[in-house]
Amino acid sequence: MRRRVDGGVRTKIGRVEGLRIVASTALFIALVLFAGGNARTQLADLTLVVTRQLERPILTVSSPGAEGNKYGFEGGRVIKLDGTYYLFTSEMVGDPHWVKMRLAFWTSGDRLHWKRGSTLFESSGDFTGKDPRAALWSPMPIYDELEQRWSLFYVAYQCAPDTAKEWLTNHEGRIWRAVSQAKGRSGIRGPYVNVGIVLQRGEDSDSWEGLQGTDSFFPYRVGDRWYAFYGTAHTETLPISLWQVGLAWAPSLSGPWKRCTELNPLNIDKPFIENPVVTELTDGTYAIVYDNHIEHAVGYSMSHDGIHWAPGRALIIQRDKGRWASEVRTPLGLIPEGDDSFTLFYTANEDQLGATRPQWVKTTPGALGVVEVKLERANQEKSFGSSIGSPRF
């Protein structure tokens, strides 16, 4: 979710429990600073560069299968499995805006033409603040080799009309986990069965967590542990000034998930970072792409250990004739295509209709875009081109 804060600057306000270091607090801090410093020095030579872009969105409210989807698509993740691309996304199907939602998956064999699979979960659309599943967002499928099943993590919100002081449209976000009924990677299509809440605001929360609750969650494996990015914002006070992320860890995807209080919030990108999606590169480096506050861009960062992250950088994904969106929103992860090349899908508001409610909430429909991205090392020549008519698409 995005809004305008501090004189129109576009921002969206969004814990690794200590590494069981049996040492003094001073030594722990020293180790963190040392690791983080080395990561920043070594990772500075790695750069993501867009090499191809399209001049139009590839999935919109006008696409076949999108009938009845009033406000379009926002967030989620795309996975490539056996040559097929699977899009898990939030469909903003009706009113209230950002409240009446469906979580669904779509498939494509060529990245351009999409077929809707099915609705996985649908929100109630309740706007009284009473239903904890009034709005559903950010479906993130994660495969567990041990269980041989897919886990689907997503956010459920309570929803109510905003006040002069508070943003209540989506608040008290809770992270739900659902599990695929079919075993194996082919079970990605579902159906999925809810097994419970894995993270929410409560007595174990940190002071930087706000009324919005937990607004995003993405687990990934580091060694024999699972870590997860999660985000929050102080939506109890308007204007919203910061939207940040932290880390949590667990022995398995089912939990229990514990906040990494010593490290949180992470100093990756201020004032805004939301919805990080992690990809482990072939050399063991971890990369995230996320929603940032830079026009026509998404953010990215890298890590050697998946715990200490370099400062975020901006990746411009819409240039020149390729600027089809009024607002670039959320990247859906890096999909390896070989030779340090990646497909990057993202959601963005189409530049049409022009309706807003209120001033900082854009109701122009959300659509899906795509670019090709290259990981470049220091001293490599950078390039950026248009891909209309390219055989790669």
Domains of the chain: 3-386 (2.115.10.20)
Q: Distance between CA atoms of 375 and 378, rounded to whole angstroms?
A: 10
Residue type at 206?
A: D
Q: Give the three-state DSSP class for 81.
A: strand
pLDDT given at position 41: 38
pLDDT at 357: 41
For the chain (393 residues), the mean pLDDT of every run of 10, in chain order, is: 39 33 33 41 85 95 96 98 98 97 98 98 98 98 96 98 96 98 97 98 93 97 97 94 94 97 96 96 95 96 97 96 92 97 97 48 82 87 50 54
Nearest alpha carbon to residue 307 among 72, 3, 19 = 19
How far apart CA 238 and CA 53 sit, in angstroms, is 36
Residue 354's φ and ψ, nearest 5 degrees, are 80, 10
pLDDT of residue 291: 98
Token representation of residue 381: 């020549």
| C-beta of residue 385 within 8 angstroms of C-beta of residue 52 | yes
Q: What is the residue whose two structure tokens read 């971890």?
A: 286
DSSP-derived 3-state class of residue 286? strand
